[in-house]
Amino acid sequence: MGVRRTGVGRGYEEMDGANIQVPQNNNLNDSHVINTSLDTEFELSSVSVVPDDTFTVQQAVNALGFGWFQVKLSLCVGLCWMADSMEMTILSVLGPALHCDWGISRYQQALTTTIVFLGMMLSSTFWTQLSDRYGRKPALTLCGILLFLYGLLSAVAPSFGWLLLLRGLVGFAIGCVPQSVTLYAEFLPTKQRAKCVVLLDCFWALGACFEVALALAVAPNLGWRWLLGLSAAPLFIFAVITPWLPESARYHVSNGQNEKALRTLEDIAKDNKRPMLLGRLVVDGPTISRGSVKALLSVSLRRTTLLLWFIWMACAFCYYGLVLMSTEMFANNPVEPIQDPTNDCQHLQTTDYMDLLWTTLAEFPGIFATIAIIERCGRKKTMAIQFLLFAVCVGTLTSTNDRVLLTIILFLARGVIAGLFQAAYVYTPEVYPTALRSIGVGGCSALARLGAMATPYVAQVLLQTSLWSAVSVYGLFAICAALACLLLPYETQGSESNS
């Protein structure tokens, strides 16, 4: 999950405009925090009227449909998200292993997780500007190379200080991953966008499961260094295939390179076995102003923005907290009796990894269950109910020492919180106006990273002192976030465009 799936949202048929109006006097500028696949500029409704002998990139993509070209691109981008998810999931295994092998403190153990999210936060603007200036493809190529290099070097780090530096650089490189979604969305027909973005969520869950399975096969016998090294393999594969990624046709057109854009569109037509459009390729229309943080805090948007910032922060705080807490709880609740009760270092056993795999698999039903109920119950109620269910699940963790029941509770909690992220990605782009959509989602993403940076000190430090205290923190955050969901002023379910 960068922060988990940063910049990715479910691509419902979106509104050209918003549920709320943009104040007319806001000083909008071109800065933005993160690219999102949900930007309305990709929608046909945002395309200006052009003569019959011309066409735009989005018109061409819609006419050429979904075919083999998009299938290949889905696999490439999906591999990128799998690699991102694996680098996030490995944090739950790396900290306890370092605690046992190097004798680091619990605070240092938490720092190995925090440093990755800090790197992601600091790099977001850098990668956005790089991809806007030189293209998505060069940025993703550099990202793949750096991720593989730093991931591999982490496996041979000679000291804790070197490991922290390298993991921070891994986080810095992960900050480019949302650019893959921007590239992906620019080649998706409007009607297929929703299904394809859900597919990316499945790749994220698949990457998390694959990392746990790899840890099961490698860590007990070969140790964490081999696990870090082998986890970089998908990154190497992605770095190798990036030269074959297509550059965004929209990027070419916006930079006056119409011939290159036409060649890309002709490749789509050839792969999808569709006739190429006749006429002259033109720019989609004037570039949409990206907005500013000041505009997000205007009178009409202030309440929505502040509530969403807290909701996203709580969502990431609870999601990554549960991932880290699951490992700690399995290690502290072994199947076999502890040989040395005075030693707080407990290596994860095969049974621990199997139970971790079961809880990780919960993301799949969680995602699809959310998709099934969100249109019936509405966005706000769905998120509120999921936060409350999460609070109930974590609250029951203190009431049992039975390993099977513990695994079931963690499975339910993992599915609920994974689906909650999906619901937040649906609601947030829908509630903001076109000009503020990118900066709105980006601001929420930044606050989510703050939540992810803070959660290790609860899941890995406070938990060792008092399970009840740690669970109470997560339960309180979830209940407050549920209330925040109900206080959101707008329900976007079934809203019509009001551009």
| Residue pLDDT, tens place only, 218-262 | 888 888 899 998 988 888 888 888 878 888 888 788 777 888 888
pLDDT value at residue 464? 86
Residue 12 in domain: no
pTM for the model: 0.77
Distance (Å, whole) CA 428 – CA 416: 18
**Regions of the chain short of the pLDDT cut 50:** 1-2, 5-50, 287-289, 337-342, 496-499
Residue 253 in domain: yes
- The one-letter code for the residue type at 95 is G
Residue 499 in domain: no
Sequence-distant (6+) residues with CB within 8 A of 236 are 148
Distance (Å, whole) CA 450 – CA 452: 5
Residue 164 in domain: yes
Per-residue tokens: 299: 């009178």
Kindly provide the b/e burial profile for residues 98-119, where b requires at least 16 CB atoms within 10 angstroms of the residue's own CB: bbbeeebebebbbbbbbbbbbb
pLDDT value at residue 498? 36
Residue 139 in domain: yes
Distance (Å, whole) CA 428 – CA 448: 13
Name the domain count of the chain.
Answer: 1
Residue 24 in domain: no
Nearest to 219 by CA among 311, 129, 147, 327: 327
pLDDT value at residue 413? 94
Residue 2 in domain: no
CATH number of the domain bearing residue 231: 1.20.1250.20
pLDDT value at residue 84? 83
Per-residue tokens: 2: 């960068």
pLDDT value at residue 30? 40
Residue 133 in domain: yes
Domain that holds residue 241: 40-335+343-487
pLDDT value at residue 165? 94
